[in-house]
Amino acid sequence: MMIIEVKDKSVDFRRANMMEICEAVYALASLVPIGRVTSYSSIGKVLGIHPRLVALCLKRNNNPVVIPCHRVVYASGRVGGYSRGGASTKIKLLELEGVHIDRKGRVPREVMIQLESLLYSDARRS
């Protein structure tokens, strides 16, 4: 599976083609449960690619239903963009899932997941 290869670093995603990168981005985005969010840079760190490429994948190849693109936000907590219906739609979707967005368009720190620390956490245990 793609994720295993990431942990082994046997695949350099910076040199992989866009399609493979996108697959991996979607897989990681799908890990984020309802009511939580992650950031573009968190996904980027795991795959070893620039955060902007993560955004590019989400924007381009967007499978509307299967992939929860709206759960990926700026590292700062700001919501960021959304090509289907704009940022306001993204905010609505998140509110629907129980993520409160403050007046300045930011999500609370507690709901943000750092995917890379999930990967390291069980390797470090032994």
Tell me which amino acid residue 22 is: C
Which span (5-13, 80-88, 91-99, 117-125) binds DNA, by CB under 7 A? 80-88
Measured CA to CA, the distance from residue 86 to residue 77 in angstroms comes to 17
Considering only residues 28, 46, 47, 55, which one is a binding residue for DNA as defined by CB under 7 A?
A: 55
Determine contact, residues 58/25, Cβ cutoff 8 Å.
yes
**Tokens 């219906």 belong to residue:** 85
Contacting residues for 66 by C-beta, under 8 A, at least 6 apart: 26, 30
**For the window 7-46, what string marks contact with DNA as x by the rule CB under 7 A?**
-------x---x--------------------xxx--x--
Nearer to DNA, 1 or 51 (CB): 51
Instruction: Please give the DSSP secondary-structure letter assigned to residue 15.
Output: T
Which residues of the chain form contacts with DNA (CB under 7 A)?
Answer: 14, 18, 39-41, 44, 50-56, 58-59, 62, 69-70, 72, 74-76, 80-84, 104
